Chain A
C-alpha cells in the first residue's frame, strides 16, 4: 500500500510570502496525485490533480504543483499567499485504484 508524507505540520507566514508544501509518497508504480484544501468550516475541496502529461499542474486560486517522479514528490506552491489561503492542505495519492491515501495534512496560517 502506498503512504504519503507531508513534511510540515504547521506553516505560518505573512501575506505576499511564497508558500511551498512538501509531499512525498511511497509507491513505485503509476500514481495519480491530488492536493485537497479544507478552509475553516468548509468541506474538503480539490485544489489540483495530476494524472499524466505535463508534470507542472496548475490549480485553482493560483496554486500549482510539480510532480517529480524521480523524487516521488508532488510539492504544492503559491508565489504570493493571501489571508484567505489560511486552511489545512492535504496531499493524496491513488495508485490507479479508487482508494485515496492521504497525508496527515499541513495547517497553513497566513497573517495579515
Chain B
C-alpha cells in the first residue's frame, strides 16, 4: 500500500509568517511522529501521537510549534511566526503501535524561512 506522504514537499516562507505542514500516515498505523532534521544534525524528535491518547509534545522547541491529529489519521504541524532557525526538513513517521515497531518515514517537507 501507499507509504507515509507529506505535503508540501518544499515550502519557502518569509520570517514571521505561519506555516502548516501535513502528514498522511500509513493506513492502520496508530502511532504518528514528527521529527526535524536541521542542516548537519541528526533527526530531532518533536511530537508523538498514539491513538486517542494525549500527545507527547516534549520535543517541540517552542510554543510557536503545535500539532494536531484529526480522526486518528492525518496530522498537521503548525509553526507560527516562523524564524530563520526553523529552516529544516520536517519528517513525519508512522508505526503500528510503538516501541518495538518500525517507524516508516515520509519524504519530508523542506522548510526555508527567508
Which residues does A use to contact B, with CB under 8 Å? 4, 6, 32, 36, 42-46, 49, 51, 90, 92, 94, 96-105
Contact = CB atoms under 8 A, between A and B. Distances in A.
A44 B105 contact: yes
A38 B59 CA distance: 23
Contacts of A42: 107
Given A43-B3, A44-B91, A104-B40, A94 B106 contact: no
Contact of B99 (A44, A96, A101, A102): A96
Contacts of B103: 100
Interface of B: 3-4, 31, 33, 35, 40-45, 48, 50, 56, 59, 91, 95, 98-100, 102-103, 105-108
8 contacts: A44-B91, A44-B105, A45-B105, A90-B43, A98-B50, A98-B99, A103-B42, A104-B40
A108 to B, nearest CB: 15
Given A44-B91, A104-B41, 4 more contacts: A36-B105, A42-B107, A99-B59, A103-B42
Contacts of B42: 4, 6, 90, 102-105
Nearest to B41: A104
Q: Do most interface residues of chain A lie in helix, strand or loop, or is the interface mixed? A: strand
B45 A32 contact: no
Contacts of B107: 42-43
Given A43-B3, A43-B107, A44-B91, A99 B45 contact: yes
Contact of B45 (A36, A46, A96, A100): A100
A105 B40 CA distance: 8
A94 B98 CA distance: 11
